[in-house]
């Protein structure tokens, strides 16, 4: 059955308690392609247990609520959902070992109209179990391509961050590996769209696509490398809008514009010259 606005807005998504350790941190980093150059010591720090660092964007996978769009009674055609927008606000740096409590709630649903899809907005908080201190706040939009026209109340989408009208100050090209989606899904998001060719074709893609949040993580890596000197504590916020899929094996070019502590960015697929993440905004601790 189609989306029922009040029912979906009140959906109870189970809280998640998640304990993780160094292997989880390293697997996540490997799933984003770090370690591609085995003698790059900056990248090695995230994939080798000696003095291990944790990527800030790992907040997207710890305490992940699972594929609730499919597993719960949502009324959503889960085969045709794709990531819309995502933002992280880091209140403190992630540690290589921890136990966290993750809570997810739906905050709004926008009906774009028959044949135009629907957008589901959700918020997830991550707190340290031992201290109760907030680690991160994450905002996520899910674009439900087949679910428009359910009759939800009229709502306006919030404005997006504008990219400066000048040449980028920095550019960083990072490769993705052909098997990257198969590695990344071991950290979170088991959606078969990213592994099963038949499911990908049913969703309208010629082959499995890379997770939107993996593309997001690669852009986060580019920012960490280009403006943070690989210091995870310096990347305190990251937001962007997904605008096109990436196929594993393609090169992601992150273009960056720095204005004080704010870095605007977009991520482009080099081989097809399409923008995969647009209207990006990061905050850097000075």
- What domains lie within the chain, and their CATH numbers? 5-152+160-284 (3.10.129.10)
Residue 188 vs residues 20, 24, 191, 264, 282: alpha-carbon distances, Å: 12, 10, 9, 27, 23
How confident is the model over 199-209, as a mean pLDDT? 93
How confident is the model over 37-47, as a mean pLDDT? 96
Least confident of 4-8, 49-53, 151-155: 151-155
pTM for the full model? 0.92
Examine the pLDDT at 1 and tell me if it is beyond 70.
no
How confident is the model over 247-252, as a mean pLDDT? 98
How confident is the model over 46-63, as a mean pLDDT? 97
d(CA 63, CA 127): 10
Lookup: tokens for 122: 């959700």
d(CA 286, CA 26): 27
Residue 203 has a pLDDT of 86
Least confident of 43-47, 116-120, 250-254: 116-120
Examine the pLDDT at 191 and tell me if it is beyond 90.
no
How confident is the model over 61-84, as a mean pLDDT? 90
Over residues 82-137, the pLDDT tens digits come to 888 999 999 999 999 999 999 999 999 999 999 999 999 999 999 999 999 999 99
Lookup: tokens for 212: 């939107």
Examine the pLDDT at 209 and tell me if it is beyond 80.
yes
d(CA 106, CA 118): 13
Contact (Cβ atoms closer than 8 angstroms) between residue 220 and residue 56: yes
Phi-psi label, residue 132: left if phi above 0, alpha if psi -120 to 50, beta otherwise = left
How much is the mean pLDDT over the chain?
Answer: 95
Examine the pLDDT at 268 and tell me if it is beyond 90.
yes
Lookup: tokens for 18: 């998640």
Residue 156 has a pLDDT of 81
Residue 148 has a pLDDT of 92
Residue 104 has a pLDDT of 97
d(CA 59, CA 81): 21
């Amino acid at each position: 059955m189609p989306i029922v606005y009040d029912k979906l807005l009140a959906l109870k998504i189970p809280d998640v308690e998640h304990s993780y350790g160094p292997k989880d941190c390293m697997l996540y980093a490997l799933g984003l392609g770090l370690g591609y150059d085995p003698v790059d010591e900056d990248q090695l720090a995230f994939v080798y247990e000696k003095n291990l660092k944790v990527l800030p964007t790992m907040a997207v996978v710890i305490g992940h609520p699972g594929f609730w769009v499919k597993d719960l009674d949502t009324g959503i055609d889960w085969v045709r959902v794709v990531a819309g927008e995502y933002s992280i606000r880091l209140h403190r740096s992630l540690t290589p070992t921890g136990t966290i409590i993750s809570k997810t709630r739906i905050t709004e649903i926008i009906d774009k109209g028959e044949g135009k899809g629907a957008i589901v907005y959700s918020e997830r908080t991550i707190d340290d179990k031992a201290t109760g201190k907030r680690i991160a706040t994450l905002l996520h939009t899910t674009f439900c391509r087949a679910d428009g026209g359910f009759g939800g109340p009229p709502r306006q989408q919030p404005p997006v961050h504008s990219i400066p009208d000048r040449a980028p100050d920095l550019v960083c090209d990072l490769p993705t590996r052909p098997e990257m989606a198969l590695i990344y899904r071991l950290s979170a998001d088991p959606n078969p769209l990213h592994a099963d060719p038949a499911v990908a074709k049913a969703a309208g893609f010629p082959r499995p696509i890379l997770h939107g949040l993996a593309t997001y993580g690669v852009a986060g890596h580019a920012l960490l490398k280009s403006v943070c000197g690989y210091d995870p504590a310096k990347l305190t916020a990251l937001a962007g809008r997904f605008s096109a899929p990436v196929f594993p094996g393609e090169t992601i070019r992150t273009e960056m514009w720095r204005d004080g502590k704010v870095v605007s960015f977009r991520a482009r697929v080099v081989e097809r010259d399409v923008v995969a993440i647009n209207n990006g905004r990061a905050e850097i601790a000075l």
